[in-house]
Amino acid sequence: MSGTPPTVCIVTFGCQMNKLDSQLLRGELARSGFALTDDAARADVVLYNTCSVRRHAEDRVLSHLGSYRRRALREGRFVLGVIGCMAQRLGPKLIERFGFLDLVCGTHAFLRVPEYLRHVMAGQGPIVDVEGDGEVSFARAPGMRVGPHRAYVSVMRGCDNFCSYCIVPYVRGREVSRPPQEVVEEVEALSADGVREVILLGQNVNSYGRGLDGEDAGLAGLLALVNEVEGLRRIRFVTSHPRDMSDAVLGAVAGLVRVCEYLHVPAQSGSDAVLRRMNRGYTAADYRHMVRRARERIPAVELAGDFMVGFPGETDAEFDDTLRLLRDVRFQQSFIFKYSPRPQTRAANWPDDVPDEVKRERNQRLLAAQEEIDAERRAAMVGRRVEVLVDGPSKSDPAKLSGRTRQNDIVVFTGDRSLAGTLGTVRLTDSTVLTLFGELRQATVQHGGTELARLRRGHGGRS
C-alpha cells in the first residue's frame, strides 16, 4: 500500500479466544502495512470480532452495525466488517441485512482479512468467507498480547462436546490440538519478550492432546513442558470441563511451581435433570467429587464456575439445586448467564418456557449469593501475605499498582511503576466484594537471569 496507511480498529466481543484472535489479526494487519488504532470514530476500517454464544452478544453487534449506516454511505473510503463467530453463523445474511457492510469473515478465515481489505478498498467488495482454507492457524506477531507481561496462548481450537445449548462446535469447528513443541516455542518467545504469565486457551482445554501422539500429548504433559520455560513466572489454563479433570492435570497443578492454583470449571447447573438435558456428561455429585479431589490434592486451589439459569424446563426445585451447589462449593467467582436459544443447537428446538422475568430473578439470586461469598472470602483474607504478579497502574486508581494473586484475585497497593512484571509479597489490609487492598512488603526483581529480593514499603522506598 502506498501513501498513508489505512487505520484499522478492531472491536472485540466475547471470550478470551476472541481476544486472542483479535491480537493475532492485529499482528497480521501490522505486517501487511495497515496502521492500528483504538479510536473507531477516526478509523478508516472498523472490524467487529463477534460472539454467538448468547443472543445478547449478537444483538449488541447488530445495534453497533446499524449505527454506521450514515457514515458508510457518506464516506466512500470507510470500510465496515464483521469477523468471528457471528460472521461464521450468519455469513451472507449479514450483507443482506446491512447493505453497506463490506466484509464478513468467519472463524476459519479471519487471518485473511488483510488480503480481503485490499480487495474491498480496490472496489472488489463486498466479500464473504466462512469457509477458509481448512487450516487452523495459531500464528502470532511479536508484541500482540493482552498486556505487557501477560499473554494468551491458544493450545487448541474447537470443541467436540456438543452441549445441547452451545453453538461453539458449529461456529468454531471440532477440536484440533496444537503440537506441544509449537506451544513451548511460542511461550519461549513470549518470555524472552517480557511476558511473565501465560494463559493457555482452549474451549475445553483439559481435553488437549486428543489426536496427538507421545507422552507429552495431554494437558498435564504440556504444563510440565511450559513449566520449564526460563523467565516465566506463572501459567494458567482455561476453560476446563468437569468430566475431563484428570488426576494427571490436578497433579500438574499441585506439583509444578509455575502453574497457578486456580481452576475455571463451569458447572452450568446443580440439577441432574438439567445437566442431562444440557448433555454435560456428569451429575451434581460428580461435580462435587471433582471439587473434593481438587481441594484434597491442591489445598490452596480456588475454583471459578459458570452457571446458566432458565434452561428449557428448569423448575424452581431445579434452580434451588443450582443455588445449593454454588453455596456449597463457594467459588472464587462465578459467571452467571440467562439461557437464550442458539440456532443449530438441539435446545433451540425445545420450548423456551421459562419466562424472562423468572430468568432475571434467578440470575439476580445467584449473583447475590456469589457476592455474599465474595465478600466473606476476601474479608477473611485480610491480614494474610500473598504473592502478587504486578500488572502496572490500577485502573481504578492510577496512583497505585494492581496485580493478581496465584488464585486470580485482584490486589491494589502502593508501589513504584517500575515493579510492573515482577512478583511481590503484599500484606492484605482491606477488601471489597471484588478487590483486595494491601501494602507491598517485598518485591523480586531480575538481574541477568538471577533473582534479587528487596523490601519495599509505602511508595516503593526500601525498608
Question: Which CATH number fits the domain that encloses residue 338?
Answer: 3.80.30.20
Q: Show which of 315, 345, 379 is a domain's final residue.
A: 379
- Tell me what pLDDT residue 238 has: 96
Joined together, the cell numbers standing for residue 440 give 507491598
Co-location of 245 and 369 in the same domain: yes
Q: Are residues 261 and 184 in the same domain?
A: yes
| Residues 106 and 168 reside in one and the same domain | no
> Does residue 144 lie in a domain region?
no
88 and 113 fall within a common domain: yes
CATH number at residue 404: 2.40.50
In a domain, 2, yes or no: no
402 and 365, same structural domain? no
Name the domain boundary from 355, 379, 403: 379
Domain-embedded: residue 138: no
Q: So what's the pLDDT on residue 235?
A: 98
- Supply the pLDDT for residue 120: 94
- 323 and 263 fall within a common domain: yes
Q: How many domains does the chain have?
A: 3
Q: Which residues pair with 249 in a beta bridge?
A: none
Assigned domain for 136 exists:
no
Q: Give the chain's length.
A: 463
Domain finish residue from 332, 355, 379: 379
pLDDT at 192: 93
Same domain, 365 and 409: no
Residues whose CB is less than 8 angstroms from the CB of residue 106 and which lie 6 or more positions away in sequence, other chains included: 83, 84, 87, 88, 91, 129, 130, 131, 132, 171
The whole-angstrom separation of Cα 419 and Cα 401 is 9
Residue entry with cell 452441549: 163
Claim to verify: residue 92 and residue 157 sit in the same structural domain: no
Phi, psi of 361 (to 5 degrees): -65, -40
Q: What is the mean pLDDT of each run of 10 residues along the chain (463 residues)?
A: 84 89 90 94 95 91 93 90 94 94 91 93 91 64 70 92 95 92 94 94 93 79 96 97 96 98 98 98 98 98 98 98 98 96 96 98 98 97 97 92 97 94 96 96 58 38 28
Is residue 220 situated within a structural domain?
yes
Q: Are residues 409 and 375 in the same domain?
A: no
Torsion of CA 167, 170, 171, 176, to 10 degrees: 110
Can you give the residue range of the structural domain that contains 223? 150-379
Residue 140 lies in a domain: no
pTM, to two decimals: 0.88
State the CATH number of the domain containing residue 58. Answer: 3.40.50.12160
Are 233 and 258 in contact, with CB atoms under 8 Å apart? yes
**Assigned domain for 256 exists:** yes
Answer whether residue 27 is part of any domain: yes
Instruction: Report how far apart the first and last C-alpha atoms of the chain are (Å, whole number).
Output: 56
73 and 211 fall within a common domain: no
Indicate whether 33 and 177 sit together in one domain.
Answer: no
Q: Indicate whether 243 and 331 sit together in one domain.
A: yes
